[in-house]
């Protein structure tokens, strides 16, 4: 009964490769996100999708391309991986409601290591 799941949990790859991370939520939420957590544990928003539509792209290089095939899935594809892309990537989801800030639920994270 996992709410937000991500695969893979660990990803080790060489510079220049292309890789994808998958995210699925079974909460029925309309909004999904990708966050990046750096080595200092600082979490920063990358993308926000609402009903399969991209809402924000926060100063993320073009090499990162999110894709939402349906409301329950938000995948992250990364081209030409660089050393600086090494981090933990978290997917999250939330359900908008009038007048509420709406807590986000996070997946377990994908630790990406670029060699």
Partner 1 sequence: EDQVTQSPEALRLQEGESSSLNCSYTVSGLRGLFWYRQDPGKGPEFLFTLYSAGEEKEKERLKATLTKKESFLHITAPKPEDSATYLCAVRLISSGSARQLTFGSGTQLTVLP
Give the CA count within 13 Å in the CB-facing half-sphere of 36: 18
Closest by CA to 23, choosing from 88, 96, 89, 86, is 89
- Pick between residue 75 and residue 94 the one whose CB is nearest to partner 1: 94
Cα separation, 115 vs 106, in Å, equals 27
Q: Which residues bind partner 1 (CB under 8 A)?
A: 4, 31, 33, 40-45, 48, 50, 55-56, 58, 90, 92, 94, 96, 100-109
Instruction: Give 9 or 17: the residue with its C-beta nearer to partner 1.
Output: 9
Tell me whether residue 22 or residue 109 sits nearer to partner 1 (CB atom): 109
């Amino acid at each position: 009964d996992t709410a937000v799941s991500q695969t893979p949990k660990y990803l080790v790859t060489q510079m220049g490769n292309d890789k994808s991370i998958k995210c699925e939520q079974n909460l029925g939420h309309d909004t999904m996100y990708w966050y990046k957590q750096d080595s200092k544990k600082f979490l920063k928003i990358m993308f926000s999708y609402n009903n399969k539509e991209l809402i924000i792209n926060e100063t993320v290089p073009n090499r990162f391309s999110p894709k939402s095939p349906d409301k329950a899935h938000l995948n992250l594809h990364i081209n030409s991986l660089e050393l600086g892309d090494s981090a933990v990537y978290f997917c999250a989801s939330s359900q908008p409601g009038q007048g509420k800030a709406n807590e986000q639920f996070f997946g377990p994270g994908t630790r990406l290591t670029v060699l």
